[in-house]
C-alpha cells in the first residue's frame, strides 16, 4: 500500500514499521522531525538501545544498536487507533538475538505524535523488556501470549464517546470492576509469571477479577493519574502511569503504560491489554 503523506493514519504506521530487511528501521528516519524524541524502555546496562534518544542522529544510533543486538523475524500490526495528531500502532513482533541465537516474541505499542509539518516529533515504544533481557543473556525467553485482533461483541456499533466513558468508569472503579465487564472479558498482562502474579492471559469475568485482585495485592498505587484516551469506535488506547510500590520487594514504581481496551456494544469492557515494562518492577 503506497504511503499517503497527507494522512496521520494507521497506513502511515505500516509504512514506517514494515521496513524491509536489510536496512530495517533506517527508512523511518525520513518520517521523523529533526528534533524528534524517541523513547525505548528497559535497562540501558542490559539492553543497548534502551533510553531516550533526541534528534535524528541519536535515533540512528539507537537503530544501529538495536540491529547489532537483534534480527527481526517478523512484525505484524494487529490493531491501530488514531487521533487528530497521533497514532497508536499495536504490533506482534518476533526477534532473535544475533550473538545468542535466542528468539523472543512480544507485543509492542508504537505511540507516534505528529507535528504541524506532519512529521513524527515524538515516538514512544511501550513493551515488556523481560524477554529482550532474557534473550540477550542467552536464556530461553518466556513465551509471551499475544491476543489475536478479534472484535468483541458490538465493538463496531458503539461510539467513541461511549467507549471512552466506559473506560473512564473502569479506571474509577478499579480494582472492583466486575460489574463493568462483559461475561467473556479477556485481559492480557505482560511479565514473567514466575515473578509477577498478575502476568498472563485471563479469560472470562471470574479470571479477569482474580487478575485485578492480584494486581492490587502486588502493586500499592499511590495515586490515580489522569489518563489520556483516544478512541475509534469501541477501540480505546490510553496512555497512563503506573506509580506506587511493588509489594514483594518494596521497590518504587513509576512507569508509563499504554492500555488498549475493546468495549462491547453494551458499553462493557470486552478486552484489556496492557503494554509496559515489567522488568523495571521485577528486576531482582
Position 144 scores a pLDDT of 75
Across the range 181-193, mean pLDDT stands at: 94
CA-CA distances (angstroms) from residue 134 to 59, 98, 192, 279? 24, 13, 10, 10
- How far apart CA 191 and CA 198 sit, in angstroms, is 8
- 20/71: higher pLDDT: 71
User: pLDDT category, 25, cuts 50, 70, 90?
Assistant: low
- How far apart CA 241 and CA 194 sit, in angstroms, is 24
Is the pLDDT at 7 greater than 50, yes or no?
A: no
Position 270 scores a pLDDT of 98
Position 147 scores a pLDDT of 76
Is the pLDDT at 263 greater than 80, yes or no?
A: yes
Is the pLDDT at 5 greater than 70, yes or no?
A: no
The per-residue pLDDT for range 93-128, each reduced to its tens digit, is 999 999 999 888 999 999 999 999 999 999 999 999
> Across the chain, what does the average pLDDT equal?
88
User: pLDDT category, 36, cuts 50, 70, 90?
Assistant: very high
At 188, list the grid cell.
492480557
CA-CA distances (angstroms) from residue 32 to 35, 38, 58, 118, 225? 8, 10, 12, 9, 29
- How far apart CA 265 and CA 153 sit, in angstroms, is 6
Q: Among 147-151, 166-170, 180-184, 271-275, which stretch is predicted with the lowest mean pLDDT? A: 147-151
Q: Among 80-89, 107-116, 135-144, which stretch is predicted with the lowest mean pLDDT? A: 135-144
User: pLDDT category, 83, cuts 50, 70, 90?
Assistant: very high
Position 274 scores a pLDDT of 96
Is the pLDDT at 142 greater than 90, yes or no?
A: no
Contact, 236 vs 263, CB < 8 A?
A: yes
Sign for the pseudo-dihedral over CA of 40, 15, 54, 122: negative
Amino acid at each position: 500500500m503506497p504511503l499517503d503523506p497527507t494522512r496521520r493514519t494507521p497506513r502511515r504506521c505500516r509504512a514506517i514499521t514494515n521496513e524491509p530487511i536489510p536496512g530495517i528501521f533506517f527508512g523511518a528516519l525520513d518520517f521523523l522531525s529533526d528534533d524528534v524524541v524517541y523513547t525505548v524502555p528497559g535497562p540501558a546496562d542490559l539492553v543497548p538501545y534502551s533510553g531516550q534518544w533526541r534528534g535524528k542522529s541519536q535515533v540512528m544510533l539507537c537503530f544501529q544498536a538495536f540491529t547489532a543486538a537483534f534480527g527481526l523475524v517478523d512484525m505484524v500490526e494487529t490493531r491501530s487507533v488514531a487521533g487528530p495528531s497521533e497514532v497508536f500502532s499495536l504490533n506482534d513482533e518476533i526477534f532473535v538475538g544475533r550473538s545468542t541465537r535466542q528468539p523472543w516474541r512480544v507485543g509492542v505499542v508504537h505511540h507516534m505524535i505528529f507535528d504541524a509539518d506532519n512529521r513524527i516529533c515524538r515516538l514512544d515504544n511501550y513493551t515488556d523488556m523481560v524477554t529482550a533481557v532474557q534473550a540477550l543473556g542467552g536464556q530461553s525467553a518466556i513465551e509471551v501470549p499475544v491476543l489475536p485482533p478479534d472484535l468483541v461483541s458490538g465493538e463496531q456499533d458503539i461510539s467513541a464517546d461511549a467507549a471512552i466513558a466506559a473506560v473512564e468508569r473502569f479506571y474509577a472503579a478499579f480494582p472492583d470492576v466486575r460489574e463493568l465487564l462483559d461475561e467473556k472479558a479477556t485481559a492480557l498482562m505482560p511479565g514473567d509469571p514466575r515473578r509477577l502474579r498478575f502476568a498472563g492471559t485471563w479469560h472470562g469475568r471470574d479470571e479477569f477479577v482474580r487478575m485485578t485482585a492480584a494486581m492490587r495485592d502486588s502493586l500499592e498505587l499511590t495515586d490515580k493519574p489522569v489518563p489520556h484516551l483516544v478512541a475509534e469506535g469501541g477501540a480505546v488506547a490510553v496512555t497512563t502511569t503506573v506509580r506506587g510500590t511493588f509489594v514483594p520487594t518494596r521497590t518504587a514504581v513509576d512507569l508509563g503504560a499504554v492500555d488498549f481496551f475493546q468495549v462491547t456494544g453494551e458499553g462493557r469492557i470486552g478486552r484489556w491489554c496492557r503494554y509496559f515494562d515489567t522488568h523495571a518492577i521485577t528486576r531482582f
